[in-house]
Amino acid sequence: MWCRKLVCLFKVPCQLSGSTRRGSTWLSRDRRTVLTAAARGHHTAPESLKCAWQIHGDHLELRYANTLMRFDFVWLRDHCRSASCYNTKTNQRSLDTASVDLGIKPKAVRVDETTLFLTWPDGHVTRYGLEWLVKNSYEGQKQQVMHPRILWNAEIYRQAQVPSVDCRSFLETDEGLKEFLQNFLLYGIAFVENVTPTKEDTEILAERISLIRETIYGRMWYFTSDFSRGDTAYTKLALDRHTDTTYFQEPCG
């Protein structure tokens, strides 16, 4: 019934598409057609199959450049790049995010070959380039930055023979640092050999990778067998897998 009503509204034939969603119907339309609030929850797509989109209860689903993306309506309103919402000179929002209704929905949506247009209940119009949306969506960024990874257990690790990096190469050359980081991203673990076993040298090594966080224990400290501290970490007992500092607001990852 909805499909027939939409056909009358748009005066275009309704035709099925290869959607995998139960009961989904894709409507072919002229690029200038606007989907109004009356058609919320149903599908539409431009004649050129380069872009297709679908409105859901609280978000817009957009398929473009072989990427299926989800954008919450609140996000789409909050990230508006219009002159009244965004300062292009400082690249900062002018819109007060707290003023955006968490239940906001566009009353009209339109897509042409390069741009998504959203008209909000107050009449404000937001425009997004489709390429910009791909670059700034979670799905698009995941495709761009995802590094290959090897998930391993003890047997896989033994067979992998993860290469180590010499300490001097690691500290003094970009290639040594790059090799270490590549191993870390690929296996989730990396090794530096020939490190002088002192707190000071370990600190230098750690700072080559990132910042050292200040804690209630200090920046760097020795672990010794001292049961008076009341902490298993300061004993000779074996420690199984665990996460440190779970009582911190931002515990170790």
Between residues 172 and 246, the one the model is more confident about: 172
Domains of the chain: 51-136 (3.30.2020.30), 154-223 (no CATH)
- Residues whose CB is less than 8 angstroms from the CB of residue 97 and which lie 6 or more positions away in sequence, other chains included: 78
Which amino acid would we find at residue 160? A
What angle in degrees, to the nearest 10, is found between the helix axes of 199-209 and 174-187?
A: 80
Q: Does the reported pTM lie above 0.85?
A: no
Of 11-25, 74-88, 166-180, 225-239, give the lowest mean pLDDT range. Answer: 11-25
Rounded Cα distance between 153 and 166, Å, is 25
Long-range contacts of 99-104 (CB under 8 A, 24+ apart): 100/74, 102/74, 103/58, 104/73, 104/74, 104/77
Q: Which two tokens stand for residue 91?
A: 């690249």
Residue-wise pLDDT for 151-204, tens only, equals 777 887 777 677 899 999 999 999 999 999 998 988 888 899 999 999 999 999
In percent, the amount of the chain with pLDDT more than 70 equals 78
H or E stretch including 69? Answer: strand 67-72
Instruction: Decide if pLDDT at 35 tops 70.
Output: no
Mean pLDDT of 210-230: 81
42-65: b (≥16 Cβ within 10 Å) or e: bbbbbeeeebbbbbeeebbebebe
Instruction: Decide if pLDDT at 14 tops 90.
Output: no
Sheet holding 28-29, edge to edge: 28-29, 43-46, 51-55, 59-64, 67-72
Instruction: Decide if pLDDT at 7 tops 50.
Output: no
The widest CA-to-CA distance across the chain, in whole angstroms, is: 82
